[in-house]
Amino acid sequence: MIDSQPVFDAHLHVQPIDRFRPAVRDLVLGAMRPEAHEIVARGQKDPAVLLAFLDAEGVDRAVLVNYVAPDVTGTDESVNAWVVAYAKAAPDRLVPMGGVHPGRVDGPEAARAAVDAVLAKGIRAFKLHPSHQLVDPLAYLEETPLGRALAAVYRRLEERGVPLTVHTGTSVFPGARNRLADPLLLDDVAVDFPSLTILLAHAGRPFWYEQAQFLARRHANVHLELSGIPPKQLLAALPRLGDLADKCLFGSDWPGPGVPGVAANARGILALPLGSEAKARILWDNAVRVFG
């Protein structure tokens, strides 16, 4: 805990960086703070290193973000087995996040089967990264192979009660398509799949905060995941944060650029002029409800 408050980090990057494309790997490593390098280098091979880091930071639980994006990051479906095996070191603390690339399955039946297979491995949350997977979230409205597969993925996650984190906001990775990361593209998804729990990662940072906030206010199934936003900027970026405290989840985005540490960002949340109950919901309660 941090200052007597349990902390659930809904967005921690623990990935097999050695499988990234060289240009992406160099960019990621170059943007890290120096103190993160050793933890990342040793931690991606030894979960005990990560758990010791989480202990030191006062973090009780964390979602380990992974996804299939061979065209941009270079990661393929093997990341699902990798993160599941990694999280077995502490299944009560580590939530393995993975997914299915709808452009790499052959039709809706195969898409449903792929979702089931990934869940059977032990993946507990899904990630859609439109700008890295080069998938328009609205493609499901089209009668194309990709559209039918994406619709099947959404529907199966809804049926299975699996939360879906969707990257919203910009990316500087080589080859990323930022037009696909506008949160407003998820408006139709929230309408057509009303029981699908959707988390807007980064809440549209830095261009689309207003759209993300609107979606969270409009849709019962849409949540804001606050990773990568400096806590001091949160109330300026999301002025309705207090009203939406039951829809917001803390995420650090560690070891992303500019992230001083998980504890530092969590303490930044605790320093905001919000009530203690609102802070508890953002730092712990909402993530427990979403991820278990």
Here the tokens at position 90 are 């502490």
CATH number of the structural domain spanning residue 136: 3.20.20.140
Here the tokens at position 272 are 């905001």
Cα–Cα nearest to 122, from 106, 147, 98: 98
CA-CA distance, 139 to 175, in Å (whole number)?
19
> Would 2 be classed as within a structural domain?
no
Range 44-49, long-range pairs (CB < 8 A, 24+ positions)? 44/14, 44/15, 44/16, 44/17, 44/18, 47/86, 47/87, 47/89, 47/90, 47/94, 48/89
Kindly give the confidence (pLDDT) of every residue in the chain, 292 residues in length, as a single tens digit, with 9 standing for 90 and above.
999 999 999 999 999 999 999 999 999 999 999 989 999 999 999 999 999 999 999 999 999 999 999 999 999 999 999 999 999 999 999 999 999 999 999 999 999 999 999 999 999 999 999 999 999 999 999 999 999 999 999 999 999 999 999 999 999 999 999 999 999 999 999 999 999 999 999 999 999 999 999 999 999 999 999 999 999 999 999 999 999 999 999 999 999 988 989 999 999 999 999 999 999 999 999 999 999 9
Range of the domain at 172: 8-291
Q: What is the pLDDT of residue 257?
A: 86
What is the CB neighbour count within 10 angstroms for residue 220? Answer: 11
> Would 236 be classed as within a structural domain?
yes
DSSP bridge pairs for 201:
167, 225
Cα–Cα nearest to 210, from 171, 187, 240, 167: 240
Q: What is the pLDDT of residue 258?
A: 82
| Full DSSP string of the chain | -BTTB--EEEEE----GGGS-HHHHHHHHHHS-HHHHHHHHHHTT-HHHHHHHHHHHT--EEEE----BTTTT-B-THHHHHHHHHHTT-TTTEEEEE---GGGSSSHHHHHHHHHHHHHHT--EEEE-HHHHT--GGGGGSSSHHHHHHHHHHHHHHHHT--EEEE-S---STT--GGGG-GGGGHHHHHH-TTS-EEEEGGGTTT-HHHHHHHHHH-TTEEEE-TTS-GGGHHHH-TTTTTTGGGEE----TTSTT---HHHHHHHHHTSSS-HHHHHIIIIIHHHHHH-
Considering all CA atoms of the chain, what is the largest pairwise distance in Å, rounded to the nearest integer?
A: 52
CA-CA distance, 55 to 153, in Å (whole number)?
35
Q: What is the pLDDT of residue 188?
A: 98
CA-CA distance, 255 to 64, in Å (whole number)?
12
Is the N-terminal amide bond of 206 cis, ω within 30° of 0?
yes
> Would 1 be classed as within a structural domain?
no
What is the CB neighbour count within 10 angstroms for residue 35? Answer: 10
> Would 3 be classed as within a structural domain?
no
Domain count, the chain: 1
> Would 89 be classed as within a structural domain?
yes
> Would 77 be classed as within a structural domain?
yes
> Would 100 be classed as within a structural domain?
yes
> Would 245 be classed as within a structural domain?
yes
CA-CA distance, 13 to 202, in Å (whole number)?
13
Q: What is the pLDDT of residue 200?
A: 98
Angle in degrees, 0-180, between the axes of helices 262-270 and 47-57, rounded to the nearest 10: 30
